[in-house]
Chain A
Amino acid sequence: MSKKQNKLEALNLDAYYGDFHALKGINIAMEEKAVTAFIGPSGCGKSTFLRTFNRMNDYIDGFRVEGQILLDGKDIYQKEVRVDELRKEVGMVFQKPNPFPKSIFENVVYGLKIQGIKKKSVLEEAAEQSLRNAALWEEVKDKLDKSALALSGGQQQRLCIARALAISPSVLLMDEPASALDPISTAKIEELIYELKNDYTIVIVTHNMQQAGRVSDYTAFFYMGELVEFNKTKTMFTSPKDERTQNYITGRFG
């Protein structure tokens, strides 16, 4: 009845770095307004896969994909797709906080400014809304004109989330967003992810099994470039079907 739409899909996706076959025949469909976690040992291809959804791998020499990535049913690797437009729809938060060396305000409104929006009232409103959504407003509202680099690591990461939210994407890709943060900042980011899934489709790469268990609705386990198992997080963590998944989530390797 109220079955949710598939927001993102991969169909027979292969990816290569030169001769290296990084992703092998991946098929997956991710639900709208849900959190999907990608887990797996280092080098398993989960980050590479995440980066195909906003074509962030395009600039890497020798990288190519075969197969399809569908966003709302449309293949984003078609020739006529403009990557800058795509990335306004599919926002990204990186592993290490990477604010621009500009003021907090300039960071948040950067995405709007490059779209040509200049009106101060519009920018200010968007900045406040995005910072509130990223649970950062109360901490920075009195120092919006201060350098973003003066914030703590956790605050910088929430600023990067606010910056991504400001251009109102529908998908948020997060590449180990809390791996460089302390436990308290990590908890804040996780809380935030929980809030954000009401409005956004979220895909998160994480090394932290507990984190995947806490924040995600679905989990995909990658191993050696293959998608080994994809299921509801609860099911996956209580009764994994594949032996490799079981070994990984019980900490026997990785």
Chain B
Amino acid sequence: MKVSEKIIEGLLWLSAAITILVTVGIIWVLLSESISFFQEVSLVEFLTEKEWTPLFADKKFGIMPLVAGTLLTTFVAIAVALPIGLTIAVYLNEYAHARMKQVVKPLLEVLATIPTVVYGFFALTVVTPFLQQLIPNLAGFNALSAGIVMGIMIIPMISSLSEDAISAVPRSLREAAYGMGSTRLQTSFGVMVPAASSGIVVSVILAISRAVGETMIVAIAAGQQPRLTLNPLVPIETITTYIVQVSMGDVPQGSLEYKTIFAAGITLFVFTFALNNLSFWIKKKYQEKYD
């Protein structure tokens, strides 16, 4: 009896340890390769240079165009997903019948299970041609379509997590609002959403984190041209798509070009790591305590 307990405990410990080891390993590889990158390219150049052309004869190593591309597509995605996701959350929580909610919520979550490559082609072959009819000077590859479709992909993240947050607000607050003569709309947007705001902010940060790391959609639909711009109508490149581009295998291992993907990777890692920690911190600090 005792021995089997020990074995099980050991197995549990092992699986936890493996997870941590893998994380540490990834960080170690990222760090060591980037350090050797930064021995050849200065951090100042990396952060201030306005062009990113490591694969050309005239090499320039400014990460800013890739950061701009990433932020641009992420911004468009959140601009799409936040209003729609929050509206859905409020609808499900306040208006929908219990049975309706049981059907709609899982259906929405299906959106999150569609392979991103499918989203990418949807952006390229459906959304872009449609948008071109409205915006004639929209390029075939652009940040706008990629961002919109990415937004659709992360809607369930925001709607589901926000709905959970609104549901967690005590019933007594809803009754207080109704008791004062609030309509349903006033109750949800005036009382429930503000009371759930910390959870909603966390859902948005996680969604941002997802959008920043998204690769396939932007690789397919946004073009692969690093460009320091905030114009969503032209082709851009994000950090993730650059990594894909280089990882395809044309670049000799160990070369400076090869090391750029680790420099880009660590930039991405810093972003998502900071965002995840921010969400964790907000959750801890602002979680409303009602009891």
Chain A interfacial positions (CB closer than 8 Å to B): 54, 56, 59, 61, 83-88, 91-92, 94, 96, 98-102, 110-111, 114-115, 149, 160, 163-164, 167
Contacts and interface: CB of A to CB of B under 8 A. Distances in A.
Contacts, number: 66
Interface stretch (B20-28, B30-38, B132-140, B176-184): B176-184
Contact of A54 (B179, B191, B194): B179
A56 B179 contact: yes
Contact of A164 (B175, B180, B289): B180
B180 A110 contact: yes
A114 B176 CA distance: 13
Given A111-B181, A163-B180, A94 B175 contact: yes
A61 B100 CA distance: 13
Interface of B: 97-98, 170, 172-173, 175-183, 186, 190-191, 194-195, 288-290
Contacts of B177: 100, 110
A167 B110 CA distance: 46
Given A87-B180, A98-B172, A114 B195 contact: no
B161 to A, nearest CB: 19
A98 B97 CA distance: 25
A85 B181 contact: yes
Nearest to B180: A111
19 contacts: A61-B98, A84-B183, A88-B180, A88-B181, A91-B179, A92-B175, A94-B176, A98-B173, A99-B176, A101-B173, A101-B194, A101-B195, A102-B194, A110-B180, A110-B190, A111-B180, A111-B181, A114-B180, A167-B181
Contacts of A84: 181-183
A85 B199 CA distance: 32
Contact of B186 (A102, A114, A163): A114
Given A98-B170, A100-B195, A101-B195, A114 B181 contact: yes
